[in-house]
Amino acid sequence: MTGGPAVMKELRAIQRANGYIPATALNELSERTGTPLYQIQGVVSFYPHFRTTPAPPVEVLVCDDLSCHRRGAAAVLAETQERVAGSAPAGSVVRASSCLGRCDRAPACAVNDVVVTRVTGDSLMDAVAAAAAGTPLRGDAVVRDPRKLDADPYGSGERYGAARKLAASGDTDALIASLKASDLRGMGGAGFPTGLKWEIVRNAPGDPKYIVCNADESEPGTFKDRFLLENVPHLLVEGMILAGLVTGARHGIVYVRHEYEAQIEIVEHEIATAKAAGLLGPNILGSGRAFELETFVSPGGYICGEESALLEALEGKRAEPRNKPPFPGTHGLHGKPTAINNVETFVMVPSILANGPEWFKAQGKSGAAGLKFIGISGDVARPGVYDIAMGTPARQVIFERAGGVAGGRPLKAWAPSGPSSGFLPPSALDTPLDFKSLAAAGSMLGSGALLVLDDRACMLDMALNAVRFFRNESCGKCVPCRVGSAKLVEVLGQIARGDGRAEHLPMIDDLSHALTLTSICGLGQVVPVPIRSVLTHFRAELDDHLLHRRCPAGVCALPA
């Protein structure tokens, strides 16, 4: 196979072997695969995980996005930069990075690509010393949840019952009907009805068809899919098998972020187990139906979470979002019909088929249907992943399940799903966590990345941190996002430093409208959401910075 995903996998293999991708290797790869050199160079230069120069002897990446920011990452970064400069091998690098997917174990860092969590200045320097000495680092451990999750219909019994039943009956109409009756919607953020999506792919002309799992959760606060990969990989694999049988797709791909090395191994082991049981391969359980499944490791970038950008990455291209329509359901991977869902969505399907759609709907509260996994982080006593009834009020999740605000401090703000959902005040705590209720509150359920902020947080500082993340992760394809996100960071930074001016408020408004209305994809459209939510719910705090040159929380370094 030439070009496309084969090139991406070979680039990863080259970097693993050399620590970086030498120019000579690029030339050889171009000649061997028949892929133009400029195209390969364009791919390598786009993705943050690819290197074209030798790695430093020690590289420390300190996450400073939202949850880690609230847990002291900035101080850890500054301290480590100072200490490394005087002790680590020459050429060592310490810098901030985007979210590493360990928001429940903040602050998180990566030392020579090994993720370490709950770091302090001293523990991080211990890791630096070990890396400098060539000692293998012990990375972030996989911690399995001993509970039987409500979404798992099997427990300790035989698994893959739904797939076995469908392989024997071939009744794909009944499966589509069950998904529609269950009201299962996509859990990655968009909330599109799952049964309808699979039906569109099934009915779309074109062959081959594909099933893709988006396990690239990279937005600050988002880590519940990591939990599912660790604890119920069999439900993910079964959900994708079911999708393949229903749509007629014969090939599936689990697209996973590269920081999830241990989770990738777990999924690959589960794929091998299913294959050995006859559940994957050219003739699933003697049904005459074929479905193969593999993993694809992302070369990095939050933009890869956008479904069309993810498809571009799978095709061996720069992960730049496509214009829509057409949509992936009819024109997806390699231009063929493709069903893309996130981990949680696939995980829910076996329980719906095993227990029935009415059972699934009845699990919800407040008029909402089904179950939901919520990842809670920030200033909360027990950060982690909680399985809840869809429609459970945020107050109950934060204070009963997650133990309330850490240290018993007052709650200042919360975000239902990371920076893209914006910040809500304590008065909104009784809002049910479901699609409809949060939309009515001016926010969204998104992927369920609930962020808690105590009274010591500065809301302008949090908005600036969030907008900076979006700026850093913009692919740069469209002008509104590329230029607008940078300008918004500049304006918010000036206000936070005490250089704010009256004209900055209408400027924020103009930038917000331009970004929302003209950006190609969802990344650019949500760039202004954090600051707009602050203007809506925490306006007095912004006015303190802008009019009185004062940060009520004492976070921003304003001139005296």
What is the reported pLDDT for 2? 40
Q: Which of 5-19, 101-115, 212-226 has the lowest mean pLDDT?
A: 5-19
Domains 363-454 and 459-548 share a fold: no
What is the reported pLDDT for 1? 34
CA dist., res. 267 & res. 477, Å (int): 33
CA dist., res. 559 & res. 132, Å (int): 40
CB atoms within 10 A of CB 292: 15
**Could you tell me if residue 286 is left (phi over 0), alpha (psi between -120 and 50 degrees) or otherwise beta?**
left
Model confidence over 288-322: pLDDT tens digits?
A: 999 999 999 999 999 999 999 999 999 999 999 99
Q: Which CATH superfamily is domain 161-359 in?
A: NADH-ubiquinone oxidoreductase 51kDa subunit (3.40.50.11540)
Model confidence over 394-416: pLDDT tens digits?
A: 999 999 999 999 999 999 999 99
What is the reported pLDDT for 371? 97
Class of domain 363-454: alpha beta
Model confidence over 49-81: pLDDT tens digits?
A: 999 999 999 999 999 999 999 999 999 999 999
* Averaged pLDDT for residues 124-129: 96
Q: Which CATH superfamily is domain 59-132 in?
A: Glutaredoxin (3.40.30.10)
Domain boundaries, the chain: 4-46, 59-132, 161-359, 363-454, 459-548
Contacts (Cβ under 8 Å, ≥6 apart) of 385? 104, 145, 223, 224, 227, 373, 374, 375, 376
H or E segment to which residue 374 belongs: strand 371-378
What is the reported pLDDT for 486? 97
- Reduced DSSP (H G I as helix, E B as strand, rest coil) percent helix, strand, coil of the chain, to 5: 50, 15, 40
CA dist., res. 478 & res. 445, Å (int): 26
What is the reported pLDDT for 4? 63
List C-alpha distances in Å: 458 to 37, 307, 498, 541: 48, 33, 14, 8
Mean pLDDT, the chain, whole residue set: 95
What is the reported pLDDT for 157? 85
DSSP codes of every residue in 522-552: HHHHHTTHHHHHHHHH-HHHHHHHHHH---T
What is the reported pLDDT for 190? 81
CA dist., res. 377 & res. 220, Å (int): 10
Q: Which two structure tokens, joined as six digits, stand for 75?
A: 């101080």
235-274 per-residue burial string, b: 16 or more CB within 10 A, e: under 16: bbbbbbbbbbbbbbbbbbbbbbbbbbeebbebbbebbebb
The β-bridge relationship of strands 59-63 and 109-111 is: antiparallel
Structurally, at CATH architecture level, domain 459-548 sits in: Up-down Bundle (1.20)
* Averaged pLDDT for residues 182-206: 94
97 and 86 Cβ atoms separated by less than 8 Å:
no
Q: Which two structure tokens, joined as six digits, stand for 216?
A: 């690239």
CA dist., res. 172 & res. 245, Å (int): 8
Beta bridge partners of residue 94, listed in sequence order: 60
CB atoms within 10 A of CB 408: 9
DSSP codes of every residue in 401-424: IS-SBGGGPPEEEEEBTBGGG--B
What is the reported pLDDT for 255? 97
- What percent of the chain stands above pLDDT 90? 93
pLDDT band at 188 (very low <50, low <70, confident <90, very high): confident
Confidence check: pLDDT of 45 > 70: yes
Beta bridge partners of residue 449, listed in sequence order: 375
DSSP codes of every residue in 22-59: -HHHHHHHHHHHT--HHHHHHHHHH-TT--SSPPPSSE
Q: What is the pTM of this model?
A: 0.95
Cis peptide bond prior to 208, omega within 30° of 0: yes
